[in-house]
Amino acid sequence: MNSIPEQKETNEQKLYKIANELLQTEKAYVTRLNLLDQVFYAKLLEEARKDAFPMDVVKNIFSNISSINTFHSQFLLPDLEKRMGEWTSTPRIGDILQKLTPFLKMYAEYVRNFDHAMDLLKQWTDRSPPFKAIILEIQSQEVCGSLTLQHHMLEPVQRVPRYEMLLKDYLKKLPQDHIDRRDAEKSLEIIAMAATHSNSAIRKTENLKKLLEIYEMLGEEEDVVNPSNELIKEGHILKLAARNTSAMDRYLFLFNNMLLYCVPKFSLVGQKFTVRTRIGIDGMKVTETYNEDYPHTFQVSGKERTLELQASSEQDKESWIKAFQETIHIYLQKNETFKSAFKDVEEVTISELGKRAPRWIRDNEVTMCMRCKEAFNALMRRRHHCRACGYVVCGKCSDYKAPLEYDGNRMNKVCKDCNSILTGNIDSEEREGKKKGILEVSSGSCDLGFGRKSDVHELLRGCRSNLCYSFCNGSFIRRQLTDGMGVRRWFCTVGSTITLYRPAGAGTHVDVL
């Protein structure tokens, strides 16, 4: 039986197909713009007018989305629909797209505001139950397509490059002497320029989109949506048990600053995981291992945990090892650059802290917080100066005040480290977390078995300055060892002496080692 030969698509048909794709994607785009403007924005504004939350917050989140929606729904889309209806007599789109170019400034404003909008959205979703409830209720509707508000807000950022791609394809098929050639080329020139200016923002939003997907896969329990986080590699892996070397199915998310070691979770809708361990890249090592029973194995060792893993093939193993090594190398490189930039900076000594005005590090000399190492951002993470040490730190790390002797003991903004040294207080996050130290004991918040908490102060008062010095310089070590009796032991170094404090009945036993 002879097959019917495929009819070759003509150039005119290809041009029509591209123009029609532009129309169809524009219809879908306007639907999403309407969802953002007429549903999310309108509903949140309505509640804001009832004083449920600030109206300015809502307006700053959605920026100029109403103007963008008006232009596309009332002008560009109707023009495209009309043109496709008369394509036989007027086969061109360049003249219509030229109408878009004066309005690209609206996109520049939206893209500039995007990071700030994401930050506000996260803040108020966490802070305001009514705000969160409205968003969740709308997201549950069929019109949202099981996507979050953040996903839909990415659409305007990605739309301009889409126009550029379609126009390039259109011009490739367009004859040199075609009547639409000049208009199409002029439109592409302006649109391409706008797309180029948005490239950095687009890369950020694509990364953010991926982070949002991971956030949802982790059951919205692990906060990975941070502009400083960048996904390097992800995939299934087998974990070898330490005792019986049985292999268990696991999933890894490798970021530029951490590894999430996850367990797959049963789900009817998409992949879901539970985070078993978060391992920091700082101090991480990866080595190839050899196991006769289990081929393609390697070991990832971090401060938090060591994992022996098995890849699906030798190629997969090499790919994982390479990804880990490159990530560790880049992380160390950035850290060294950060440290070397300030190795010659004159620092205020511990004994002078608060007594002498520090030399302020210039804003343009740093790209990340000098305490937590999080990257600065003009909108989301701004620079602040500690008035005690002069370091450039983020808002979170500078949310403290302490009296400074050189300023007449007036209260000044200081970083969290200087606050601990100057006041002897530790912030609540450290108090609740794993970073508890001797400063917490010296403030009387821990009972080591003394009859009175004031005894703690008496015992430590004599070496308070030494303890502060040791704490700041990392020579103070706190270890909590637990035996069958649940005994706590505290080790501290003062000079060359190691002193152990531990409970002993009603009193306190002190060993000098």
Which is nearest to 219 in space by CA: 274, 276, 269?
A: 274
Confidence of residue 473 (pLDDT cuts 50, 70, 90): very low
What is the value of pTM for the model shown?
0.47
Q: Which neighbouring-strand residues pair with 413?
A: 401
203 vs 263, higher pLDDT: 263
d(CA 114, CA 153): 8
Q: In one letter, which amino acid is 499?
A: T
Average pLDDT, the chain: 79
Lowest mean pLDDT among 64-73, 115-124, 191-200, 282-291: 191-200
Which is higher by pLDDT, 476 or 267? 267
What average pLDDT does this structure show over 21-27? 96
150 by Cβ neighbours in 10 Å (0-12 / 13-18 / 19+) ranks as: buried
CA distance 361 to 122: 31
Cβ-contact 401, 412 below 8 angstroms: yes
Q: Which two tokens stand for residue 49?
A: 């007018």
Greatest alpha-carbon span in the chain: 102
Query: Which domains are present in the chain?
Result: 11-217 (1.20.900.10), 231-337 (2.30.29.30), 350-423 (3.30.40.10), 435-512 (no CATH)
Give per-residue pLDDT as tens, 206-236.
Answer: 777 788 889 889 987 777 887 778 899 999 9
Q: What percent of the chain has pLDDT over 70?
A: 76
Over 80: is that where the pLDDT of 9 sits? no
Using the predicted structure, report yes or no on whether residue 440 has a pLDDT greater than 90.
Answer: no
For residue 503 the two structure tokens come to 């409970």
pLDDT for 125: 92
- pLDDT band, very low/low/confident/very high, at 338 (cuts 50, 70, 90): low
Task: State mean pLDDT over 164-173.
Answer: 93
Residue 46: closest CA among 131, 126, 129, 114: 131
Mean pLDDT for 114-132 is 90
- At 487, the pLDDT band (50, 70, 90 cuts) reads very low
Q: Which residue has the higher pLDDT, 447 or 316?
A: 316
First to last CA, the chain: 96
* 285-288, strands of its sheet edge to edge: 272-280, 258-265, 247-255, 231-240, 306-310, 297-301, 285-288
pLDDT at 475: 34
Question: Can you give the pLDDT at residue 438?
Answer: 31
Query: How many other CB atoms are found less than 10 A from the CB of residue 208?
Result: 23
Residue 369 identity: C
Checking if the pLDDT of 383 tops 80, the result is yes
Instruction: Give the Å distances, CA to CA, from 417 to 383, 393, 433, 470.
Output: 16, 11, 16, 12
What DSSP string describes 16-79? HHHHHHHHHHHHHHHHHHHIIIIIIIHHHHHHHTTTSS-HHHHHHHHTTHHHHHHHIIIIIHHH
Euclidean distance between CA atoms 354 and 356, whole angstroms: 6
Position with higher pLDDT, 487 vs 387: 387
| CA 354 – CA 181 distance, rounded (Å) | 70
Residues in the chain: 513
Radius of gyration of the chain (CA): 30
Residue given tokens 């550029």 in the structure block: 164
Residue 408 has a pLDDT of: 87
For residue 394, which of 410, 381, 412, 378 has the smallest C-alpha distance? 381
Average pLDDT over residues 232-244: 86
Measure the CA–CA gap between 109 and 77, rounded to whole angstroms.
21
What's the average model confidence in pLDDT over 120-136?
93
Alpha-carbon distance 269 to 265, whole Å? 11
- Tokens representing 172 are 């490739």
Residue 66 phi, psi dihedral angles, 5° rounding? -65, -40
Q: Once rounded to an integer, what is the mean pLDDT over residues 391-396?
A: 89
Rounded-to-integer distance, Cα 118 and Cα 229, Å:
14
Reported confidence tier of residue 96, pLDDT bands at 50, 70, 90: very high
Least confident range of 86-100, 362-376, 435-449: 435-449
SS3 string of 296-328?
A: CEEEEECCCCEEEEECCCHHHHHHHHHHHHHHH
The percentage of the chain sitting over the pLDDT mark of 90, rounded to a whole number, equals 43
Identify the CA nearest to 390 among candidates 356, 340, 424. Answer: 356
pLDDT one-digit tens code per residue, 37-91: 999 999 999 999 999 999 999 999 999 999 999 999 999 999 999 999 999 999 9
- Distance of alpha carbon 84 from its chain centroid, rounded? 43
Using pLDDT thresholds of 50, 70 and 90, give the confidence band for residue 342: low
Better-scored residue on pLDDT, 23 or 9: 23
pLDDT for res 359? 81
Q: Is the pLDDT confidence value at 420 over 80?
A: yes
Rounded to whole angstroms, the Cα distance separating 105 from 103 reads: 5
Query: What is the mean pLDDT of the segment spanning 166-176?
Result: 93
| pLDDT of 367 over the 90 cut | no
Report the candidate in 484, 417, 491, 419 with the shortest Cα–Cα distance to residue 448: 491
Residues whose CB is less than 8 angstroms from the CB of residue 64 and which lie 6 or more positions away in sequence, other chains included: 106, 109, 110
Torsion of CA 158, 161, 167, 171, to 10 degrees: -150
pLDDT in tens, 306-335: 899 999 999 999 999 999 999 999 998 887
Whether the CA torsion 51, 54, 58, 63 is positive or negative: it is: positive
Best mean pLDDT range from 231-235, 337-341, 391-395:
231-235
Count other C-beta atoms under 10 Å from residue 214's C-beta.
21
The secondary structure of residue 105, as a DSSP letter, is: H
- Looking at residue 458, its amino acid is E
d(CA 176, CA 291) in angstroms, rounded, equals 64
* Residue 202 three-state SS: helix
Q: Print burial letters for 129-141: b (CB count within 10 Å at least 16), e (below 16).
A: eebeebbeebbee
508 or 20, which is more confident? Answer: 20
| pLDDT class of 167 with cuts at 50, 70, 90 | very high
